[in-house]
Amino acid sequence: MPNTESKGLLIFFYFCIAIFSLICLVPFVLAVSGSLSTESRIAAEGYSFWPRGFTLETYEFLFGSKAQQILQAYSMSVIVTVLGTVSAVLVTTAYAYVISVKGFRLKNFFAFFAYFTMLFSGGTLPWYLLSTKYYHLGDTLLGLFVPYLLSVFLMFLMANYFRSIPHEIVESAQIDGAGHLRIFFSIMVPLGRVGLVTISLFYALQFWNDFYLPLMLVSDQELYTIQYLMYNMMANIQFLASGNAAQVGGAIIAPPLETAKMAMTCLTVLPIAVLYPFLQRFFVKGIVVGSVKG
Amino acid sequence: MMQDAIPEKARRQVLKTGTARTRSYRNSLKKDSSLYLLALPGIIVLILFAYLPMSGLILVFKNYNFNDGIFGSPWAGFSNFEFFFSSMEDALRATRNTVILNALYMLTGTFFSVAIAIILNELRSKWFIKVTQSVMFFPYFISWIIIGAILFSLLDYDKGIFNQLLTTLGWGQVDWYSSPWLFVIILVLANIWKSAGYGAIIYYAVLQGVDTSYYEAAKIDGASRWQIITKITLPMLIPSIILMSLLNIGGMLKGDLSMIMGVTFLNPLLLPTTDIIDVYVYRTAIRSGEFGFASAITLYQSVFGFILVLAANKLAGWYDKDSKLF
């Protein structure tokens, strides 16, 4: 499409994109390098992009003394992600199917019923009070995923996929006597699997990264997810760093805090980084369908 | 962030109110019963976590106590509003911060996303586009808490990379975590870093759908690369930019609590610029238990946000009828 003239501009464009891509990756290098440095050298010389005094001590420390806590939080994150994703995908696709059924008289109502929640909300506070006092979700496993079971945006995305499935298939199934449940589970779900994979990934990511729900609803250490454990650790370090700790009292133990933070960062990002190359194209496909179609 | 785009079709679906078909109600109830069954879990989730909390807004008129709960607590008339207006300063600060931060996120985020998409559209090397696109998209997958941890290693007073660099250059260190106004820039940059790649994919996808004959015609007419960008590519993106902005304006009074928590840890020194409404509600209500007061803020946030959506929608209607949300 573009002209061959103004080569300079084109080179400049390549340069811009390359720089921004680098900036997107460099902070992670910093985290890995920090986790492989020794605590004393970080304390004395600060962070760097190359490990200061290369060592695996921090990981040994984490897997030694903190192993129990970290494994607990890690497995809690995995449980929440798996349970959350599976149930959210079920709830979402079922709802999406309903509003995509041709000729269903209430489909517009149901669509608006979901859409309206994007426009207007009761806010954090009533949500919090209802969840803790009336639904009793505080300090429960359910509280860590149930509030997120229906993302309206992903529901509309899924409905779009269902609408793209040729109506004739549904019609012929109806003539053969299939009901909506049958059509949903044995036709729509298998045929909409690209959409299904997309929204599953978005949900999985959301559940893995979430620390809002534990922040609001959890105080029991056994229910800490890895993100929330990380949050607590960071908040404590800030507390120590801000000087407030002076009043708390003398016995400041010196675990490798700085490097541990970086090691935790790496551990938390690791699953995403490992799966990302394989899954990335589904996300892209999902966004493209969601934004362009229609 | 996932709520950035509502599929076009779904919006149209929402527009068409009133059903053309008038079937016998009982007949359709029987035929469609399995549909209600399928929708039921979703309806329950929406009612529990979206609609019932809306009714919780009556808290504004209540003197909340934990034992009697939302609906049992005694009525308080307008005293919460009096309280709200008496500590107007904090509420206004929170509103100002929310609006400023969101406006900055929106402007810079859109600018960078669009710029990246346009540049990608000019590049020819397929593998370069693929690789850089994946790389730029990656930060979108990282939680704010992790970004906060990494930022700390960049910004820490003694150990941070930035200050090391500044010292080497002989400029002295900056105390980022106690400079509220400097930190606004940090937040804006962090937001660009996390979401520009994601936004760029959306706009790039739109550009991929553009009819190539426009470009061919322009080339024959001898248009320069820059002319093609400003006269064809950019105008093609404008409807999507408007749609995205509209959706964002509705959320103008909604702050990202996870972002502020993850990046600043509610550092009191930064509150002058980072105390957004959601943070304010969290601090006054969930931490200090001033429920009636906090719900007055929440109500104000919701109503004002709703008005903003309606206004933005109207505005878009003036510009172009098809750009309207509803």
Q: How far is B249 from chain A (nearest CA, A)?
A: 11
C-beta atoms of A123 and B302 within 8 A: yes
Which pTM does this prediction carry?
0.83
C-beta atoms of A108 and B2 within 8 A: no
CB B295 within 8 A of CB A125: yes
CB A124 within 8 A of CB A253: no
pLDDT digits (tens, 9 = 90+) for A3-35: 455 788 889 999 999 999 999 999 999 999 988
Q: How far is B302 from chain A (nearest CA, A)?
A: 6
pLDDT at B101 over 80: yes
Interface test with A, best of B30, B44, B49 (most A CBs within 10 A): B49
Q: Which of A63-72, A211-220, B4-13 has the lowest mean pLDDT?
A: B4-13
Of the two residues B49 and B309, the one the predictor is more confident about is B49
Q: pLDDT tier at A250 (50, 70, 90 boundaries)?
A: very low
In angstroms and rounded to an integer, the radius of gyration of the C-alpha atoms of chain B is 24
CB B94 within 8 A of CB B284: no
Q: How many whole angstroms separate alpha carbon B156 and alpha carbon B158?
A: 6
Question: Is the ipTM, as predicted for this complex, more than 0.90?
Answer: no
pLDDT for the residue B190 = 95
pLDDT for the residue A210 = 92
CB B296 within 8 A of CB B80: yes
B248 touches chain A (CB under 8 A): no
- Mean pLDDT (chain A, rounded): 84
Q: How far is A250 from chain B (nearest CA, A)?
A: 22
> How much of chain A exceeds pLDDT 70, in percent?
89
Q: Which class for A17: exposed (0-12), middle (13-18), buried (19 or more C-beta within 10 A)?
A: buried
Mean pLDDT of all residues in A237-249: 53
pLDDT at A252 over 60: no
Q: How far is A156 from chain B (nearest CA, A)?
A: 6
pLDDT for the residue A251 = 41
Q: pLDDT tier at A269 (50, 70, 90 boundaries)?
A: very high
Local structure of B75: helix, strand or coil:
strand
* Burial readout A178-214 (b: 16 or more C-beta within 10 A, e: otherwise): bebeebbeebbbebbeebbbbbbbbbbbbbbbbbbbb
With both helix axes pointing from N to C terminus, report the angle between B291-319 and B234-250 in degrees, rounded to the nearest 10: 150
pLDDT at B125 over 50: yes
Mean pLDDT of all residues in A240-258: 52
> How much of chain B exceeds pLDDT 70, in percent?
87
Contacts of A48 in chain B (CB under 8 A): 161, 164
Mean pLDDT of all residues in B235-249: 82
The pair of structure tokens assigned to B281 is 């509600």
Q: pLDDT tier at A207 (50, 70, 90 boundaries)?
A: very high
pLDDT for the residue A253 = 44
pLDDT digits (tens, 9 = 90+) for B286-295: 777 777 777 7
User: Which of A17, A112, A210 lies closest to B132 in CB terms?
Assistant: A17
C-beta atoms of A17 and B119 within 8 A: yes
pLDDT at A42 over 90: no
pLDDT at B316 over 90: no
Q: How many whole angstroms separate alpha carbon B234 and alpha carbon B106?
A: 18
The number of beta carbons lying within 10 Å of the beta carbon of residue A91 is 24
Residue B62 Ramachandran class (φ > 0 left, ψ -120 to 50 alpha, else beta): beta
Q: How far is A137 from chain B (nearest CA, A)?
A: 12
pLDDT for the residue B322 = 60
User: What number of CA atoms fall less than 13 Å from residue B158's CA on the CB side?
Assistant: 8
Q: Rounded to 5 degrees, what are φ and ψ at A292? A: -95, -35
CB A88 within 8 A of CB A203: yes
pLDDT for the residue B17 = 42
pLDDT digits (tens, 9 = 90+) for A124-136: 888 888 898 889 9
Local structure of B291: helix, strand or coil:
helix
Which residues touch A45 (CB under 8 Å, ≥6 apart)? A52, B159
Contacts of B216 in chain A (CB under 8 A): 1
Q: How far is B158 from chain A (nearest CA, A)?
A: 7
pLDDT for the residue B6 = 53
Q: Which residue of B has its CA nearest to A15?
A: B119
C-beta atoms of B197 and A5 within 8 A: no
Q: Which of A237-241, B90-94, B151-155, B249-253 has the lowest mean pLDDT?
A: A237-241
The number of beta carbons lying within 10 Å of the beta carbon of residue B325 is 19
pLDDT digits (tens, 9 = 90+) for A103-125: 888 888 999 999 888 877 777 88
Q: Which residue of A has its CA nearest to B20?
A: A105
Count of CB pairs separated by less than 8 Å, A with B: 355
- Mean pLDDT (chain B, rounded): 81
User: Which of A127, A160, A261 lies closest to B9 in CB terms?
Assistant: A160
Mean pLDDT of all residues in A191-205: 89
Which residues touch A127 (CB under 8 Å, ≥6 apart)? A121, A147, B49, B53, B56
Beta bridge partners of B62: B75
pLDDT for the residue B24 = 54
Which residues touch B179 (CB under 8 Å, ≥6 apart)? none
Q: How many whole angstroms separate alpha carbon A241 and alpha carbon B175?
A: 13
Mean pLDDT of all residues in A199-216: 92
Mean pLDDT of all residues in B266-289: 84
pLDDT at A292 over 50: no
pLDDT at B135 over 60: yes
Q: Which residue of A has its CA nearest to B175?
A: A242
- The DSSP secondary-structure symbol of B74 reads P
User: Which of A105, A122, A209 lies closest to B143 in CB terms?
Assistant: A209
Cα dist. B174→A195, A243, B115, B155, B177 in Å?
Answer: 48, 18, 31, 9, 9
For chain A, report the end-to-end CA distance as a whole number of angstroms: 26
3-state SS of chain A? CCCCCCHHHHHHHHHHHHHHHHHHHHHHHHHHHHHCCCHHHHHHHCCCCCCCCCCCHHHHHHHHCCHHHHHHHHHHHHHHHHHHHHHHHHHHHHHHHHHHCCCCCCHHHHHHHHHHHHHCCCCHHHHHHHHHHHCCCCCCCHHHCHHHCCCHHHHHHHHHHHHCCCHHHHHHHHHCCCCHHHHHHHHHHHHCHHHHHHHHHHHHHHHHHCCHHHHHHCCCHHHCCHHHHHHHHHHHHHHHHCCCHHHHCCCCCCCCHHHHHHHHHHHHHHHHHHHHHHHHHHHHHHHHHHHHCC
Cα dist. A64→A58, A69, A70, A271, B47 in Å?
Answer: 9, 10, 10, 21, 46
